[in-house]
Amino acid sequence: MIGKVRIFIVFILFVGTWYVLQTTSEVTAVPVKQSLSSFPHIVGNYYLSNSFQSSAEVLKLLGVDDYIQYNYVDKEKDRVNFYAGYYGAVGVSGSYHSPKNCLPGGGWGIENVKRVVLNVGVDGKKQSTVSQMLIRNGKDHQVVLYWYQNRGRIIASEYMEKVYLVVDAIVKGRRDGTFVRIMAVDTDGDLEATEKRVYQFAEDVMPMLENYLPGAQL
């Protein structure tokens, strides 16, 4: 009897897994509201300094459908790097690459990771939680803020992003999503001031992205 129950449980798990895989792969890619290339050149006190274009090989590897990587600078010459990569169907045409795996290298390593609460959200929410990494190369530091802005949510965790991805694929038939990253070099040894600059930039950028990215409702 116990053996039959185990076989039945394994069978149910197999069928359930097959159903989830089939359902979450058969989705329609969702386009952006408007191309990220038209994203404003002025964000708060910052203005566009220059942009970075990835090679065709890198874009093919990422499978990204739309993206921007802009360098902004303010009147104090403080710089912020802003990246947003949009996928019409995550896991079908392309997938995210975690900054925990991509950023370390060339002498840079992760010193710490934490969660940060911003005083802004999407789809009417007044707050959101994002992830922050402090990376270090010798005496040099960079503050890295990142999140997933997906289907009306701000998601800080890579794990929870995957959970919501499966749920929304089943319930909504959607797998669209965006990885957002903001970076700033700590040029004067004042990490707290650098963090504040990055937080403010993020709070300015997040609602602006709603004009470009699909929300909870299409």
Residue 54 has pLDDT above 70, yes or no: no
- Summarize pLDDT for 1-11 with one digit per residue, the tens: 555 666 666 56
Residues 6+ apart with CB under 8 A from 186: 140, 141, 142, 143, 194
**Does residue 16 belong to any structural domain of this protein?**
no
**Does residue 14 belong to any structural domain of this protein?**
no
Please give the model's pTM, rounded to 2 decimal places.
0.85
Beta strands at 79-87 and 66-73: parallel, antiparallel or unpaired: antiparallel
Task: Give yes or no for a contact between 206 and 121, defined as CB atoms under 8 angstroms apart.
Answer: yes
Owning domain of residue 93: 29-209
**Does residue 7 belong to any structural domain of this protein?**
no
**Does residue 6 belong to any structural domain of this protein?**
no
**Does residue 8 belong to any structural domain of this protein?**
no
**Does residue 3 belong to any structural domain of this protein?**
no
* Amino acid of residue 64: V
Within 13 Å, how many C-alpha atoms sit on residue 22's CB side? Answer: 6
Query: Average pLDDT for residues 42-47, to the nearest whole number?
Result: 96
Question: So what's the pLDDT on residue 144?
Answer: 95
**Does residue 135 belong to any structural domain of this protein?**
yes
**Does residue 84 belong to any structural domain of this protein?**
yes
Helix (H) or strand (E) holding 47: strand 46-51
Return the CATH number at 37: 3.40.1000
If one counts the domains in the chain, the total is: 1
